[in-house]
Amino acid sequence: VRKNPAEPEFHQAVREVFFSIIPLLKKNPIYLEEKLLERIVEPERQIVFRVPWVDDKGEIHVNRGFRIEFNSALGPYKGGLRFHPSVNFGVIKFLGFEQIFKNSLTDLPIGGAKGGADFDPKGKSDKEIMLFCQSFMTELYRHLGENTDVPAGDIGVGSREIGYLFGQYKRITNKFEAGVITGKGLRYGGSAVRTEATGYGLVFFVDEMLKTINETFEGKTCVVSGSGNVAIYTVEKIHQLGGKVIAVSDSDGYIYDKEGIDLDLLKQLKEVERRRVKDYIPYHKHAIYKPNGNIWEIPCDIALPCATQNELDENDAEMLVKNGVIAIAEGANMPCTPAAIRVFEKAKVLFGPGKAANGGGVATSALEMEQNAGKTRWDFEYTENKLKKIMQGIFRRCSQAAIEYGFPNNYIVGANIEGFKKVADAMIEQGIV
C-alpha cells in the first residue's frame, strides 16, 4: 500500500491471492525464502504513454495509455486492452495481476499482462474510434511481438477495435505478424470461437460445478449482468444447455423478461446497432426495464456477474442467498466484493472465481496464437471442443488443489494456489531476474 498508493483495486486483488495461498506458503517455506511475494507483485515493466487524437469536429483530445507487462515466467505477456473512462494504474494493475494466475491455470504457455486507456468509446463515430486506435498503436507497437507481448480485447475493445489496432501495427512494422494480437476477424487470422469463448467457457465451468451437486443447467433460471461480449455468449450457451436467462443489464439499468431473453434481438441491438438494453422494450412489450435497477434483486438459481469489478456487494449477495441462489460464477474480473464472497462462502453456495471461470477467453486467444504460428485454421466444432476440455481441466486443477490444501469445494483457494504455484516454480527455476 505504501509503495502503490491510490490503487485500491490492485490491493484488493493482491490481498485475495495472498490470503488464499497461506496454506501453500506454510507447507513450502521456499516461496518466502525466495521472496516470491515481493517479486510477483512488482510488474516486470510498466508502460504509460500519451494518446493524442482529433475528433470529428477537429478538436484535439489527449488520453492516457497503459500496458503493464506483469509476468513472463510462463510465456509471452498476454492480456487484454480496456478502453473505459475509469481506467487508471490501479485498475490495469489489478487486471494484470489476476491475469498472471488465470493464464497459469489454463496450462497454456502465456504470461500475464493488461493494458488500455481512459478513453470512452461511447458515442464516438467509427472514424474517431479508428483514429484513437491508430494513435494508441503508434506508441504501443514497439513493445509488442508474437513472442514478446500479445494483447487482445476487454471492455470497450471488440473486433472492430482489434481490426484497427492490427491494421496500424501492420502498417508501421511492414509485417503481417498475425500472432501479435488476438481476437482478430476470421478473415485475417482470427480463431473460430474466440468471440464466444469467455461466455461459453464460463458456462462450461459452471456446468462442472453443478455436476458436483448432481445438477445441470436444464430448467434453471439465470441472471447475467452486463450485455457486452462476455454476457451475450454466456446467455447463448445457457440457452443451448436448457437454462433460461431472464435478465441482462448495462450501466444504465436492467431488463427483465420472464419468458427468457431474446438473444437474436439482444445481439442485433448490442453488436450491430450499438444501442442500449432499454431499446429491447419496444420489441417485447411484456418485458420490464428498470433504470438504475439492481439486477441482483431478481430471484434466480444461478447468478453470473459479467459486467465489471465490484458490481456485486455484500447486500446483493445476501439478497441472492435469501432468494435461493445455488451457484455464482464471475464472468467479469473481480465483480464480487470480498464481503460478498464471504456471504456466499458462509451460505455454502457454489462459487466460481473469475480467474478460473472466465479463463476461456484467454485460453482461446492462446489457441489463436497456436493457429497463427502453424499457419493453420481449425473449425468451430473442433475449437469449441478444445475450449470445453480446457475449462474442465481448469475446474479439475482448482478442485484438486482445494482438496489437497484442506479446503474442499473452495475454488478460490484452489485457483489461487494452483495458479500461483506454477508461476512461482517457473520463476525460481529461471533465477533472480
Which residues lie below 8 Å from residue 179, measured CB to CB, with a gap of 6+? Answer: 146, 150, 189, 368, 369, 372, 373
Question: How far is Cα 51 from Cα 139, in angstroms, rounded to an integer?
Answer: 8
Query: What are the counts of helices (DSSP H) followed by strands (DSSP E) for the chain?
Result: 16, 12
Q: Is 114 a catalytic residue?
A: yes
Kindly state whether residue 154 participates in binding ligand NDP, applying the rule CB under 6 A: yes
Stretch that binds ligand NDP, among 1-9, 151-159, 289-297, 407-415 (CB under 6 A): 151-159
CA distances from 88 to 38, 132, 144, 353, 374 (A): 22, 17, 21, 23, 36
Nearer to ligand NDP, 180 or 332 (CB): 332
Nearer to ligand NDP, 230 or 246 (CB): 230
Is there binding between residue 182 and ligand NDP (CB under 6 A)?
Answer: no
> Shortest CA distance to 307 belongs to which of 335, 341, 279, 327?
335
Whole-number Å distance between alpha carbons of 254 and 273: 18
Rounded Cα–Cα distance for residues 108 and 268 (Å): 34
Could you say which residues in the range 15-54 bind ligand NDP, by CB under 6 A?
none
Q: Which is nearer to ligand NDP, 75 or 226 (CB)?
A: 226
* Separation between Cα atoms, residue 84 and residue 88, nearest integer Å: 9
Among 90, 96, 111, 331, binds ligand NDP (CB under 6 A): 331
Catalytic residue among 3, 35, 114, 220: 114
Applying CB under 6 A, does 99 fall inside the site for ligand NDP? no
> According to CB under 6 A, which one of 266, 295, 307, 412 is a site residue for ligand NDP?
307
For residue 344, the minimal CB distance to ligand NDP (Å) is 18
Is 332 a binding residue for ligand NDP by CB under 6 A? The answer is yes
To ligand NDP, the closest distance from the beta carbon of 26 in angstroms equals 31
Answer left, alpha or beta for residue 183, where phi above 0 means left and psi between -120 and 50 means alpha.
left
Candidate ranges 27-35, 147-155, 203-211, 259-267; the one touching ligand NDP (CB under 6 A): 147-155
| Residue 215 or 330 with smaller CB distance to ligand NDP | 330
Q: Report if residue 161 touches ligand NDP, rule: CB under 6 A.
A: no
> Is 156 near ligand NDP (CB under 6 A)?
yes
- If the CB atoms of residues 24 and 309 are measured against ligand NDP, the closer one turns out to be 309
**Grid cell for residue 220:** 434453471
Inter-helix orientation angle 380-404/360-373, to 10°: 130
Instruction: Count CB atoms within 10 A of the CB of residue 381.
Output: 10
Q: Which of residues 56-95 bind ligand NDP (CB under 6 A)?
A: 86
| Partners of 66 in the β-ladder | 48, 116
Cα separation of 132 and 128, whole Å? 6
Strand partners, 327: 302, 350
Interface residue with ligand NDP, options 20, 134, 308, 399 (CB under 6 A): 308
Cell of 298: 431478481
CA distances from 155 to 61, 160, 256 (A): 21, 13, 23
Q: How many residues does the chain have?
A: 433
365 assigned to a ligand binding site: yes
* Interaction between residue 372 and ligand NDP (CB under 6 A): no
Position 301 contacts ligand NDP (CB under 6 A): no
Per CB under 6 A, which region of 5-13, 250-258, 368-376, 418-426 contacts ligand NDP?
Answer: 250-258
Site for ligand NDP in 183-242 (CB under 6 A): 198, 226-231
Q: CB of 257: closest distance to ligand NDP in angstroms?
A: 16
Dist CA 261 CA 225 (whole Å)? 12
Give the nearest residue (CB) to ligand NDP.
Answer: 228
Total residues interacting with ligand NDP, rule: CB under 6 A: 24
Residues involved in catalysis = 114
Q: Which residues bind ligand NDP (CB under 6 A)?
A: 86, 153-156, 158, 198, 226-231, 250-252, 306-308, 331-333, 358, 361
Annotated binding site for substrate: 78, 99, 102, 153, 365
